[in-house]
Amino acid sequence: MATRIDGKKVAADIKADLAERVERLKAQGIVPGLGTLLVGEDPGSVKYVAGKHADCQEIGINSVKKELPATATFEDIAAAVKDLNEDPACNGFIVQLPLPKGIDQNAIIDLIDPAKDADGMHPYNLGELVLHVRGDISTPLPCTPRGVIELLKAYDIDLNGKEVCVLGRGITIGRTIGLMLTRNAVNATVTLCHTGTKDVADHMRRADVIVAAMGSAGFVTPDKIKEGAVLVDVGVSRVFDEEAGRYRIKGDVDKACYDKASAYTPNPGGVGPMTRAMLLANVVEMAERHAMNK
């Protein structure tokens, strides 16, 4: 029977450890803080940001909230980023995406102080990840790829020498996870498949591990995977459930694959909780680095 990889449980264990580390920091007079910048009132973004601040409360770190209307200009948003860069109560922060239409998101991300980049997605930090293939990295790591690797590690799934097929080339997971999987510390061999890839199913059938991040509901089917593969489902699609009469979240992996796999992450309840836990981990690590440099 395939192992169900429980992201909620692993994330809870990580948050418990982070809470202890936060208490040790507080004993040194340092209170970690996570900042968020929310522009507009997109329901999904509002809910996601609220969840981040609930996580902060859970482990005992400060929340620094900045909110701007959807009519905010580039200059307004840039000024808010500058404030967070300079706020000593905020060790790290995120700019919640997407930003309103017409705002250059990449230009805003470029304005974040790399040392306060809680998402680990600033070009400087991605560049550090590219350069430091060997040894430790002291810059923030991308949350979702880090969450995937930590989740597999928690279940003793060794990626050393394994063939990993990544589906999707988005910056949040597809392109960035390859940088992390091919580091010496992980040592996997990665094939990145996308809309221009020929015979995607052939690549999938050779893979020991499939990381599906396409946003195409049920794309990974039993005929496309080999016996005993590990399936990591990062895709998110809203699919209308005729029987229930409402929309449901579905991943990229068809549940029929579970019987053929050796292990799988459910969706929801797999990678999602780990992404949020890794955001907290980045912030606590930023505070710990600050404590060491005092």
For residue 253, what are the β-bridge partners? 220
Whether residue 236 is annotated as binding a ligand: the answer is yes
Radius of gyration of the chain (CA): 19
Q: Which residues of 40-55 are buried (b: 16+ CB within 10 A; e: fewer)?
A: bebeebeebbeebbeb
Look-up of token digits 């050393």: 160
User: Does the active-site annotation cover 224?
Assistant: no
Residue 136 annotated to the active site: no
Which of 160, 253, 138, 275 is CA-nearest to residue 208? 160
Q: Please indicate whether residue 52 is annotated as part of the active site.
A: yes
Is residue 220 within 8 Å of 239, Cβ to Cβ?
no
Collapsing DSSP states into helix, strand and coil, what is residue 197? coil
The reply to whether 168 sits in an annotated binding site is yes
CA distance 64 to 205: 46
- Token representation of residue 269: 């309840």
φ/ψ region of 159 (left if φ > 0, alpha if ψ in -120 to 50, else beta) reads: alpha
Q: Please tell me whether 169 is known to bind a ligand.
A: yes
Question: Out of 55, 66, 96, 250, which one is annotated catalytic?
Answer: 96
Q: Which of 107, 57, 94, 118 is nearest to 285 (CA)?
A: 118
Given 55, 66, 116, 119, which residue is catalytic? 119
Q: Residues annotated as binding site for NADP(+)? A: 168-170, 236
Active centre residues (catalytic): 52, 96, 119
